[in-house]
Amino acid sequence: MDRILRGERISLEILPPLPVYVEALRTVVQRNRDHLDEWRGDVIKYEESEAAFYKLLMDNYYYERGDGYFYHIMKKGEIIGHIGLVFSGKVWEISYWLDKDYTSQGYMCEALKTLERAWFQHSTDALTIYVNAKNESSLNVVKKMNYIPFGINRYLKNFTIFMNEDKINIHSTCIVPAQKKIELDETQLHR
């Protein structure tokens, strides 16, 4: 996939590990620490040092193995969030966060739409999103984007797995209510 994906109001960019981006990312994460920590739990914790953010951008920029894509959501040159896609060994998982000043304005739906458009030109593999069951904003995003509850993550309490319904075989028995635990089978996730 390309390093820059363009939406209507935003772009998704894999940023180079330059000092200006290191400081911009560090600033937006620090400004949103309470907002982000509420939903991330123990899933992702950012270390606050400049070196840690440099390493994060370096790892993202040079992630050429084909099993992950890590974009920053940009609006007029400013980082307003992150959206990433990684292959977990069984499924492709989307993760995202958005600056609290930009929530409930359609930016995450646009970012997800932009990522999906690029992804489905590249692959036919289904996409999944893990959402904290208490995060109403994120639940609204997956509903608006036609993702359906698929199961509960066995390792992350309170996280429901959602799949893009366009990529699910409707005759498959792998679709279960979100309250039940499931073992994902890779053969069930592909057309």
Which residues, listed in sequence order, are joined to residue 114 by a DSSP beta bridge? none
Q: What 8-state DSSP symbol labels residue 181? A: B
Structure tokens at 42: 């123990």
Overall number of domains in the chain: 1
Please check the confidence at residue 189 and state whether its pLDDT lies above 70: no
Q: Residue 79: which of 142, 137, 15 has the closest Cα?
A: 15
Summarised one tens digit per residue, pLDDT across range 70-121 is 899 999 999 999 998 888 777 788 889 999 999 999 999 999 999 999 988 8
Q: Contact 96/111 with Cβ under 8 angstroms? A: yes
Instruction: Kindly report the CATH number assigned to the domain that includes residue 180.
Output: 3.40.630.30
pLDDT of residue 67: 75
Higher pLDDT, 159 or 128: 128
Summarised one tens digit per residue, pLDDT across range 17-59 is 889 998 998 899 889 888 877 765 443 455 567 777 787 788 7
Q: Which domain holds residue 91?
A: 4-189
Q: What 8-state DSSP symbol labels residue 101? A: G
Helices then strands, counting H and E runs in the chain, come out as: 5, 8
Q: Is the pTM here over 0.85, yes or no?
A: no
